[in-house]
Structure formats: structure tokens, C-alpha cells
Amino acid sequence: MRIGVISDSHFLSLPAELIKKLTDLNLDLIIHCGDYTDINVIQQLRGICNFCGVAGNMDDLPIKKSLQEKEIIEVEGKRIGIFHGYGFFRDEILENEFKGEKIDIYIHGHTHRLRNEKKGDIYFLNPGPFPKSMLIINIVKDKEIEVEVVKL
């Protein structure tokens, strides 16, 4: 599965050229880690391909009513914990949010800092602010996870 990961877009509406770039990546799923700014962005992303997202600390009530603060999805046997973040962000915040869950990949936003780190067998990823950067995660059952950084 080819997953595009974005965060912190802070758009009222995605420009047509960004929608085309995302479409041209032939993604199976788009994950957004929060701070859309407008619910219209969620609708646009859902129009591209399958979508999963969480609400961020800067998102307004319609978005917070539409999306959870955290999600866990399973892809090809890998469990992905998705969370935006808040305050002075540390890995302990992620680990506490998903306490008691087996997570293979943590994906977060909030810091506006690109991150592609592996600690032991667990990935800690942040796509940075979209459209400056994003991540593409390739997950194939029983194969090593591949993470690609894309600068747009």
C-alpha cells in the first residue's frame, strides 16, 4: 500500500496544482495529521483517494466534530498510530496517547519539522508542513517498511 502523509496544511482550500500533484502520486491512502484550518480541505482530500485524518489543535469545531483526535489503523499487518500533538511536543506524548496499544508506526504533526526516525522497530514520522514536504510510506505485507521524503 502506498500512503501519502501530510500535516499542518493551514489552507482554506487546496490549490488545484496541489490536488493534481497529490493525484499524480497514485496513492492508495492519504493520511492528514491535523491543522487543516478549513473542513473544505478534508472534502478535497477525500476526493483524491481513501482518506484518514485526525483533528489538530488549530482546527475549528466543524473539523473536531468530524474527526477524532487520534486514530489507529492497520495496513498490511502494521498498526499506525496517528495524532497531531500539542504544546512542547515530545515522544512521551505519543506513547501516552497510545498506551497499551502495539504501534509499529507513530505519525504526528504539530511541530512543522520533518521527521523520519526509527527507534528499535518503531517508526516516528512527521511529514512537516504541507506543501513544503510530505512522506510516502510503502507497506507491503512481510516486507520492510519504506519511507520516502517528498519535497513539493
46-82, pLDDT tens digit by residue? 999 999 999 999 999 999 999 999 999 999 999 999 9
**Strands, E, within the chain: which ranges?**
2-6, 29-32, 50-53, 70-75, 78-83, 105-108, 115-119, 122-126, 133-138, 146-151
- The confidence band for 124, taking pLDDT boundaries of 50, 70 and 90, is very high
Is the pTM value of this prediction over 0.75?
yes
99-113, pLDDT tens digit by residue? 999 999 999 999 999
Q: What are phi and psi of 147, to 5 degrees?
A: -120, 125
